């Protein structure tokens, strides 16, 4: 597949990295900054074109004429939209994805319908990250919560703790503990190595466990792995940027939210827009401020500034001062791995979140949703099965008859409104939504091919 990425910012570069690793893709990146492009070409197998991303001549030079997917990720909403318009008007490019951040655009749904703007899919990273954090907060104790099939099924990552009733027992006893709840453990990570879950696997303390369950059952399953925690009430957010502000606005009605912002003007601005949030003007790493604002009674401290180092430091400080759980926004995967074992409970990687939603639109074979897990080392995807028994490799077959690449497993099937946990004898029907867990991303191509119908 030929993919054209406009803009080599953080998300652009990460997208290029993930997409170019899959051998079937040919990736071209356009940016105005030649140094970044040179650097990118040194590290990735991509083509780079320097120039203004929405000029037709630049797009032509980047091979827009035979591009399958255009991904506009420059830091300007307007450039992204115009680039999509031009690609549509001049080259009829099939799929056009644009990053559109401003709520002023994204809240007008009719702008993105057929016949209006030529943007097939818009992605707002800030909104995705905000939703992600809000979801995490509604399941205290979870490391990661991702939705499939419009929220009917969720995949949750949890770190097992000694106080969980299931910890120290074999996995098969889960059914005895929760006889009415249908769930399935997709993967267990122990000391960063994947353990294939089987009936006799014994769950140990500090295991990172991924399981799927219907949304209503999540809390009950989590309670088996760690003592259930009280819902989040008091939340302290550091950083009043787009993400911090949106998060505060989403949660201020139901929670007690405090937001710390360093820039007085920005603090003033967001305090005008927020209703119930207490906006504090100060440094999130200021110990006195944190103590004065009762950080020790905070349920969650979320460091969401645009400086990763500041996030790490203020989150660690907040943890030491008594915040119950701390999370930090960290982009570099290496930082993330470093910190999640230490004092920071949850590391949020905006890129992983954005890339997941981006990848879903780039993948073939009716992959409708892709979520990166564990900072991009694993992936879970949702694919829709089409075709008849003779034209598809999966329809009408039992799961045990389907050969999956190593490290991949089908964990659940959504059929209409019903959620079916995968068993070796479950039969796949057409129009099923199949949820696949992949511990090794190199096999993505094989999975995609598996779910394609034969012509």
Partner 1 sequence: MRSLLGVLNICSSLLTWFALYFILPIVTALIYGEVAPLRGFVVGAGIAVLGGMLVRLATRRYRYDLKSRDAYLLVTLSCLLLAAVAAVPLLIDLPGLSFTKAYFEAMSGLSTTGATVLSGLDALPHSINLWRHALSWLGGMGIIVLAVAILPLLGVGGMQLYRAGAPGTVKDAKLAPRITETARTLWFVYAGMTVACALALWAAGMSLFDAICHAFSTMALGGFSTHDASIGYFDSPMIEFVLMIFMLIAAMNFATHFIALRKGNFAVYRRDPEARYMLLLILASVVGIAVFINLNAVYATPFRSLRFAAFSVISVATTSGFVATDYGSWPVFAPMWMLFLSCLCANTGSTGGGIKMFRSLILMKQSLREMFTLVHPQAVAPLKISGQVVPNGVVYSVLAFIFLYFITIVVLVFALLISGLDFISAFSAIVACINNVGPGLNVVGPGNTYGALSDFQNWTCIAAMFLGRIEIITFAVLFTPTFWRK
Q: Which residues bind partner 1 (CB under 8 A)?
A: 261, 264, 267-268, 271-272, 275, 278-282, 289, 292-293
Q: Which of 448, 452, 453 is nearest to 22 (CA)?
A: 448
**CA max distance for the chain:** 69
Q: Min. distance of Cβ 291 from partner 1 in angstroms?
A: 12
Query: Which of 271, 452 has the CB closer to partner 1?
Result: 271
Query: Which of 262, 443 has the CB closer to partner 1?
Result: 262
Q: Min. distance of Cβ 320 from partner 1 in angstroms?
A: 20
Q: Min. distance of Cβ 100 from partner 1 in angstroms?
A: 25
User: Tokens for 99?
Assistant: 């990053």
Q: Min. distance of Cβ 288 from partner 1 in angstroms?
A: 10
User: Tokens for 222?
Assistant: 């989590």
Query: Which of 121, 279 has the CB closer to partner 1?
Result: 279
The β-bridge partners of 148 are 153
CA–CA gap between residue 155 and residue 212 (Å, rounded): 4
CA–CA gap between residue 185 and residue 196 (Å, rounded): 10
* Contact (Cβ atoms closer than 8 angstroms) between residue 152 and residue 382: no
Query: Which of 194, 278 has the CB closer to partner 1?
Result: 278
What 3-state class would DSSP assign to 299? coil
User: Tokens for 275?
Assistant: 């209703």
User: Tokens for 335?
Assistant: 């930082």
Q: Min. distance of Cβ 293 from partner 1 in angstroms?
A: 7
Query: Which of 280, 329 has the CB closer to partner 1?
Result: 280
Which residue intervals of 226-275 are DSSP H helices? 242-251, 264-273
Q: Min. distance of Cβ 417 from partner 1 in angstroms?
A: 37
Query: Which of 277, 331 has the CB closer to partner 1?
Result: 277
Q: Min. distance of Cβ 285 from partner 1 in angstroms?
A: 14
Q: Which of 367, 333, 361 is nearest to 347 (CA)?
A: 333
Query: Which of 6, 280 has the CB closer to partner 1?
Result: 280
Angle between helix 10-21 and 350-362 (nearest 10): 50
Give the helix/strand (H/E) hosting 222.
helix 218-225
Q: Min. distance of Cβ 312 from partner 1 in angstroms?
A: 23
Q: Min. distance of Cβ 283 from partner 1 in angstroms?
A: 10
Query: Which of 305, 349 has the CB closer to partner 1?
Result: 305
CA–CA gap between residue 70 and residue 89 (Å, rounded): 13
Query: Which of 198, 273 has the CB closer to partner 1?
Result: 273
Chain-centre distance for alpha carbon 192? 19
Query: Which of 10, 254 has the CB closer to partner 1?
Result: 254
CA–CA gap between residue 440 and residue 288 (Å, rounded): 46
Q: Min. distance of Cβ 294 from partner 1 in angstroms?
A: 10
Residue 95: CB partners within 8 Å, gap ≥ 6? 68, 69, 70, 120, 121, 361, 362
DSSP 311-359: HHHHHHHHHHTT-SEEEEE---HHHHHHHHTTT-SEEE-HHHHHHHHHH
* Contact (Cβ atoms closer than 8 angstroms) between residue 101 and residue 242: yes
């Amino acid at each position: 597949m030929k993919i054209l990425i406009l803009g080599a910012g953080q998300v652009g570069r990460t997208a290029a990295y993930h997409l170019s690793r899959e051998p079937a893709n040919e990736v071209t990146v356009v940016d105005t900054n030649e140094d970044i492009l040179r650097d990118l070409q040194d590290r990735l197998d991509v083509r780079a074109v320097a120039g203004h991303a929405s000029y037709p001549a630049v797009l032509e030079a980047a091979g827009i004429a035979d591009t399958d997917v255009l991904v506009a990720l420059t830091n300007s909403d307007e450039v992204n939209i115009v680039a999509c318009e031009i690609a549509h008007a001049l080259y009829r490019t099939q799929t056009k994805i644009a990053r559109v951040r401003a709520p002023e655009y994204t809240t007008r749904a009719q702008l993105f319908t057929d016949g209006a703007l030529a943007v097939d899919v818009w992605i707002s990273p800030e909104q995705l990250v905000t939703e992600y954090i809000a979801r995490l907060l509604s399941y205290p104790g979870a490391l990661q919560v991702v939705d499939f099939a419009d929220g009917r099924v969720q995949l949750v990552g949890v770190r097992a703790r000694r106080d969980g009733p299931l910890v120290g027992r074999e996995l098969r006893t889960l059914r005895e503990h929760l006889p009415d709840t249908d769930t399935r453990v997709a993967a267990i990570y122990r000391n960063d190595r994947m353990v294939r879950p089987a009936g006799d696997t014994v769950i140990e303390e500090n295991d990172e466990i991924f399981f799927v369950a219907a949304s209503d059952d999540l809390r009950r399953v989590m309670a088996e792995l760690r003592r259930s925690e009280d819902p989040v009430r008091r939340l302290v957010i550091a950083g009043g940027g787009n993400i911090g502000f949106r998060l505060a606005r989403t949660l201020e009605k139901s929670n007690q939210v405090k937001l710390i912002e360093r820039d007085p003007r920005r603090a003033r601005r967001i305090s005008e827009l927020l209703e119930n949030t207490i906006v504090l003007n100060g440094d999130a790493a200021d110990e006195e401020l944190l103590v004065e604002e009762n950080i020790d009674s905070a349920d969650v401290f979320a460091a969401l500034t645009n400086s990763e180092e500041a996030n790490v430091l203020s989150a660690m400080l907040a943890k030491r001062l008594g915040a119950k759980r701390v999370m930090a926004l960290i982009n570099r995967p290496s930082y993330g791995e470093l910190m999640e074992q230490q004092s920071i409970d949850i590391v949020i990687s905006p890129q992983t979140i954005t890339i997941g939603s981006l990848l879903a639109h780039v993948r073939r074979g009716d992959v409708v949703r892709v979520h990166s897990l564990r900072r991009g080392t694993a992936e879970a995807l949702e694919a829709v099965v089409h075709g008849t028994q003779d034209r598809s490799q999966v329809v009408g077959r039992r799961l045990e008859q389907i050969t999956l690449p190593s490290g991949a497993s089908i964990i659940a099937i959504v059929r209409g409104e019903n959620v079916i946990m995968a068993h070796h004898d479950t039969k796949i029907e057409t129009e099923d939504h199949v949820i696949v867990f992949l511990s090794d991303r190199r096999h993505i191509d094989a999975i995609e091919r598996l779910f394609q119908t034969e012509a």
